[in-house]
Structure 1
Amino acid sequence: MSKVIDYYMTLISPWTYLGSQRLAEIAARHGAEIRVTPVNFGEVFPRTGGLPLAKRAPERQAYRMMELKRWRKHLGIPIKLEPKSFPTNDRLASCMVLAAGETGGRPLELAQAFGKAVWEQERDIADENVCKTVAEETGHDGGALLAKAKEEATQQRYDRQTEDAIARGVFGAPTYVYKDEIFWGQDRLDFLDRALSEG
């Protein structure tokens, strides 16, 4: 495929989850490949001027909640606004997504399933058993992906992708990069769609 979208994301971002299906549909319509690239935004934020949610001003936190309500209604995606399992450590699940991509699996589908687990089902994807089960629910070999996710090479790749994301100018999730043009946020998907239409 000549059209490639680098998809920088974290599984524990509601915005990543809200945009994931539309991204898949846009890519399919344009015959574009999606390179699913989970990164550690706990490293990205402090180096790019961002703050984790808990450290943001109350006004910003309140507006985020308002926007989540708007987008939930607009898209018809029944996310929980404050899921029991948020925040949580998504490193293991992210590495399982990488492992799926390296072993002929379906990384985008797995990433979407992890997002649904957090934002609709209130499951804790820091838990190994949950990760294994979610992978199996998508038709993957959960045990094999879990084992590969724990390998040093996979862990190092996750860290390397985080550094690469920062070097490319990524500062928030989700970020879509097409032809070195950055589109930050699921509310920029229309612009990504137009860019793909232009070639």
Structure 2
Amino acid sequence: MSLRVDYYLSLISPWTYLGHDRLVAIADRAGAQIAWKPVDLGRIFPETGGLPLKQRSVQRQAYRMMELRRWPDRLGVPLNLEPRFFPADESRAARMVLQAIAEGGNPAGLIGGVLTAVWAEDRDITDPETLVDITRRNGFDSGLPARAEAAAEEHIRTRDAFGREALAAGVFGAPTYVVGDELFWGQDRLDFVAARLGVALD
């Protein structure tokens, strides 16, 4: 039986950003398929007790910043603690990712490019030109974002379906990785994901 990871992700989550490349590397080593599932946390949070960042307690917001200072140093990746374009509407970027999948492409680079744009490059992912640049950098043609918008209704339905699927699986935040019947929430659980897939975490 082939291995598979259902990857529920948010394209504006710093935790998705911090875990993305490591998940891709783990799946590659394990020979596992990744099922890419961009979701709208704005629909998941109300159903699961989550709150948007600005509505969380002062203590939770402070601890989030503490963790965001720790992890970039540990992982050796750049991260802007207060990005210029956050929060941002990720809907257009999600449609672009779904279009790439619909066309048979591997969206790993696109997803990484969008996350990097927000968290390391201070770029606006609601800007169509930013998305065009991300597609070019990651081996897709520049018409991908426009095709995604032409098929917007289909992609909205797909993303909504991923949200319902996520809730049914017990997902309440992003990133969440599901392998078989096991759910792993957060990039700091990737060692468990690797173990579940039978590979060592670098």
Check the 8 A contact 1:114/1:134 in 2, yes or no.
Answer: yes
Aligned-partner Cα distance in 1 for 2:157–2:111: 19
Count the aligned residue pairs. Answer: 198
The amino acid that maps onto 2:171 is V
Which residues in structure 2 correspond to 1:82-161 (within 5 Å)?
A: 82-151=82-151, 152-161=153-162
Partner of 2:166 in structure 1? 165
**Residue-by-residue CA offset, 1:35-74 (whole Å, 9 max, x unaligned):** 1110000100111100010100111101000001100110
Partner of 1:77 in structure 2? 77
Percent identity over paired residues:
49
Aligned-partner Cα distance in 1 for 2:148–2:86: 25
Partner of 1:184 in structure 2? 185
Aligned-partner Cα distance in 2 for 1:118–1:39: 17
The amino acid that maps onto 2:192 is F
Check the 8 A contact 1:5/1:177 in 2, yes or no.
Answer: yes
The amino acid that maps onto 2:154 is A
What's the TM-score once normalised by structure 1's chain length?
0.96
**Residue-by-residue CA offset, 1:3-23 (whole Å, 9 max, x unaligned):** 000000001000000001110
The amino acid that maps onto 1:159 is D
Moved over 4 A (4+): none
What's the TM-score once normalised by structure 2's chain length?
0.94
Question: Mind listing any 5+ residue stretches in structure 1 that lack a counterpart?
Answer: none
Aligned-partner Cα distance in 2 for 1:150–1:26: 34
Deviation at 1:144, TM superposition (A): 2.9
Q: Secondary structure at the match of 2:143?
A: helix
The amino acid that maps onto 2:86 is F
Deviation at 1:163, TM superposition (A): 1.3
Deviation at 1:104, TM superposition (A): 2.0
Partner of 1:40 in structure 2? 40
Aligned-partner Cα distance in 2 for 1:20–1:77: 12
Aligned-partner Cα distance in 1 for 2:191–2:140: 31
Aligned-partner Cα distance in 2 for 1:124–1:84: 8
Aligned-partner Cα distance in 2 for 1:185–1:146: 32
RMSD: 1.3
Partner of 2:57 in structure 1? 57
Aligned-partner Cα distance in 1 for 2:97–2:194: 24
Question: Mind listing any 5+ residue stretches in structure 2 that lack a counterpart?
Answer: none
Deviation at 1:164, TM superposition (A): 1.2
Deviation at 1:146, TM superposition (A): 3.0
Q: Comparing 27-36 with 147-156, which one deviates more in the overlay?
A: 147-156
Q: Secondary structure at the match of 1:96?
A: helix
The amino acid that maps onto 2:14 is P
Deviation at 1:172, TM superposition (A): 0.5
Aligned-partner Cα distance in 2 for 1:40–1:189: 22
The amino acid that maps onto 1:180 is D
Deviation at 1:120, TM superposition (A): 0.3
